[in-house]
Amino acid sequence: RMLSSARKVCVAGASRRQLSDIPPNRREQLVSSTLRWANVQLRLVPEFPTQPPCFLDHYVDVSNPLYAPVLHVVTQGGGGAMHRVGFIVAVNRILNVDEKYVNHLVEIGQCLHNVSLIVDDVCDNTLQRRGVPAAHVVYGAPSSLMAAYSALFNILLSVEVNLGHTWVALEECARMHHCNAMEVHFRESFAVPSEAEYLDMVDGKTGSGFRVITRMLLALSSGTSPTLDSLMMDLTNSIGRFFQIRDDYLDLVSEEFARKKGGAGSDFKEGKFSFPVIHCVGTHPDHLPMFLEVFRKPQSETTAEDVERLTGLLRATGSLQYTLERLQSIAADVLMYCQLLQDQNLDATMLRDWFSDLAVATDHFT
Residue 55 CA to residue 285 CA, distance in Å, equals 50
CA-nearest of 171, 316, 328, 179 to 246 is: 328
Angle at 182 between CA 212 and CA 80, to 5 degrees: 50
Question: What DSSP string describes 134-170?
Answer: -HHHHH-HHHHHHHHHHHHHHHHHHHHHHT--HHHHH
CB 354 within 8 A of CB 82: no
Q: String of b and e for 133-150 (b: at least 16 CB within 10 Å)?
A: bbbbbebebebbbebbeb
Residues contacting 13, CB < 8 A, separation 6+: 226
Given this model, what pLDDT does residue 20 score? 52
Given this model, what pLDDT does residue 83 score? 82
Q: Which DSSP letter does residue 108 get?
A: H
Q: Which DSSP letter does residue 125 get?
A: T
Given this model, what pLDDT does residue 8 score? 42
CA-nearest of 113, 107, 236, 232 to 176 is: 113
Residue 43 CA to residue 59 CA, distance in Å, equals 7
Given this model, what pLDDT does residue 199 score? 96
Residue 327 CA to residue 59 CA, distance in Å, equals 37
Residue 324 CA to residue 308 CA, distance in Å, equals 19
The tens place of each residue's pLDDT in the chain, 366 residues long, gives 433 333 444 444 334 445 555 667 888 899 999 999 999 989 999 999 888 788 999 999 999 999 999 999 988 866 666 788 999 999 999 999 999 999 999 999 889 989 999 999 998 888 888 888 999 999 999 999 999 999 999 999 999 999 999 999 999 999 999 999 999 999 999 999 999 999 999 999 999 999 999 999 999 998 788 899 999 999 999 999 999 999 999 999 887 776 766 678 889 999 999 999 999 999 999 999 999 999 999 988 999 999 999 999 999 999 999 999 999 999 999 999 999 999 999 999 999 999 998 887 644 433
Pairing of strands 128-129, 132-133: antiparallel
3-class DSSP state for residue 353?
helix
**Amino acid code (one letter) for 349:** T
Given this model, what pLDDT does residue 4 score? 39
**Amino acid code (one letter) for 51:** Q
Given this model, what pLDDT does residue 360 score? 75
Residue 270 CA to residue 302 CA, distance in Å, equals 10
Given this model, what pLDDT does residue 225 score? 87
**Amino acid code (one letter) for 124:** D
State residue 164 phi and psi, 5-degree precision. 75, -170
CA-nearest of 270, 271, 229, 276 to 252 is: 276
CA-nearest of 210, 11, 262 to 91 is: 210
Q: Give the pTM.
A: 0.87
